[in-house]
Amino acid sequence: MSSYPQPPNPRSFHEIVWEIVRQVPAGIVTTFGQIASMIPTPEGVDAADYQKLGPRWVGDAMNAVSWVDEASVPWHRVINSKGTVSLPEETIAAAQQRSRLRAEGVLDARDHVDLNRYGWEGPDAAWLETNGLLKPRSLKKQPPEENAGQMRLF
C-alpha cells in the first residue's frame, strides 16, 4: 500500500496513462511528470495536489505494467526527469528497461538519457483533443540566455 493518496479511480487513471505511453515512438522517451501534465486534474483533486501526486500516480501505472512486462505498453520509455531509470537497480524490470533503452540507442554509457535529444514532444494535437488530454510540457531544457545574470539597462 502506498503512503500517498491514490487517484479517485486508479484503474481509469492507469488506462489513460497506458494509452499515452503507447504513443511514444521507439528511440524516444518521456517522463512521469510529462505524462501527468497531459492528464487533466481528476475531479475532486486539488490542482496543486495533482501537480505533486500526478507523476507518482503515473509511476504506479508504469509499475503495474513493468513488473509483468506488458508487451502492449512500451513502459521502458518512461523515465524520471533526471533522464534515468527509477526502478530499483537490482530488479529484473530495471535491467530490462536499461537493456531496451540501450537497444533503442537512447541510453549512454552512464545509464543516462539526454532529454534534449531524445525527449518526446507528445502526441499530435488532434490525438490529444480526441482523447481529452492536454498539451504536454516540454522535456527540452532552454539554453541559458546570453548574459542571463546581467541586468538590462535598455
Question: What does the pLDDT read at residue 152?
Answer: 56
* 67 in any annotated domain: yes
The count of structural domains within the chain is: 1
Helices 47-66, 10-21: axis angle to 10 degrees equals 70
Average pLDDT, the chain: 93
Domain containing residue 58: CATH number: 1.10.10.10
Question: What does the pLDDT read at residue 2?
Answer: 63
* 7 in any annotated domain: no
* 145 in any annotated domain: no
Question: What does the pLDDT read at residue 146?
Answer: 60
* 136 in any annotated domain: no
Lookup result for grid cell 510540457: 137
- Of all residues in the chain, what percent carry a pLDDT higher than 70? 91
Q: What is the mean pLDDT of residues 9-15?
A: 96
Measure the CA–CA gap between 99 and 151, rounded to whole angstroms.
Answer: 47
* 68 in any annotated domain: yes
| Of 136, 133, 130, residue with least CA distance to 40 | 133
Q: What is the mean pLDDT of residues 77-83?
A: 97
Q: pLDDT confidence of 153, banded at 50, 70, 90?
A: low
Q: What is the mean pLDDT of residues 14-38?
A: 98
| Domain carrying residue 65 | 20-130
Question: What does the pLDDT read at residue 67?
Answer: 87
* 87 in any annotated domain: yes
